[in-house]
Structure 1
């Protein structure tokens, strides 16, 4: 188990490094693909499943997706310097947990991310950005973390779909 954990950590670092070295066009393409994949998850969940919790201790399906959107706005706002159209509010706490409202907010977060990336230059990806008082990294690395975050939370919702008897969308690697 220790070897598997170490391998996963090493793969995560390798993927982050590789993502940070991609061209702007490649990064935009990856975010467009992620948007399409996330939309497939949102569409697959029946409307009555948006308030489903896998266990009492975890977020609902809607909260998971809104958390993903919150982070897209937060990370890409930090990277690009652009303000989220929702301001500094928490989507998890302000957006109704229904299929239409959640889908709209999540798709807007991807549009915001893609637009922010398209508005940057390749050189800006090498600039340093701060996250909190003690954490600094290049914007390209922060962008890789943002991509990893949305992938992680979309993946978490697979179990919610299964609990509703829905087969999750097929993998969309390309």
Structure 2
């Protein structure tokens, strides 16, 4: 009988350090997207009923630092309350929040133990799954919303940063 992946002790495909570096590469690219938006469109421009890019960035911020904090502590604030704590009305304010979240992730992420990655959490009391799945969700969510930003920039006649340039 063949052993399942969960029953067999294996060497991980990637380390937590590599996972963090991958995520931070995506965050660097998203930061470039924020910088590429015209100041007057960042908080207002919308297509087809989608939220403005700044609102999407606030969602990413709500998940990132507070999410990692919850994964470590096991204590989760209400998502809506956390989201309301991120206030920005200018690109500079949004970038400041982004950079603070990046520093928070860099500080907290290494505190996630290898065992913790496989423990089940209920992120913000809503999404239940292993810690590693939740981190992938945060990354996937960022990529998804950044894709919306690409559509916005192209519709404004602005060449967005290259999707592969995460340095």
TM-score, normalization: structure 1?
0.73
Q: Any stretches of 5+ residues in structure 1 without a counterpart?
A: 1-19
Structure 2 unmatched ranges of 5 or more: 1-11
| Alignment of 1:36 onto 2:28 | yes
Aligned positions, number? 152
Residues 32-79 of structure 1, C-alpha deviation per residue, up to 9 Å, x if partnerless? 211211111111112222123223733112111111111223432321
2:95 matches 1:103: yes
The one of 26, 36, 40 equivalent to 2:18 is 26
Look at both structures and tell me which one has the larger radius of gyration over its CA atoms: 2
In structure 1, C-alpha distance between the alignment counterparts of 2:64 and 2:101, rounded to whole Å: 6
Tell me the residue number matched to 1:13: none
Contact 2:121/2:128 (<8 A) preserved: yes
1:128 paired with 2:116, answer no
Residue 156 of structure 1 is matched in structure 2 by: 148
Q: Deviations over 1:140-168 (max 9, x none)?
A: 11111111111111121112212322101
TM-aligned CA deviation for residue 27 of structure 1 = 0.9
Looking at structure 1, the residues matched to 163 and 144 of structure 2 have their Cα atoms a distance apart, in angstroms, of 14
Structure 2: how far apart are the matches of 1:72 and 1:117? 10
Contact 1:54 1:163 in 2 (8 A): no
In 2, Cα distance between equivalents of 1:158 and 1:149: 14
| Pair 1:137–1:173, CA change in 2 (3 A) | farther
SS class of match (1:116): helix
Among 21, 46, 51, the alignment partner of 1:59 is: 51
Q: What TM-score, normalized to structure 2?
A: 0.75
Higher helix share goes to which structure?
Answer: 1
How far does residue 114 in structure 1 lie from its aligned partner after superposition? Answer: 2.9
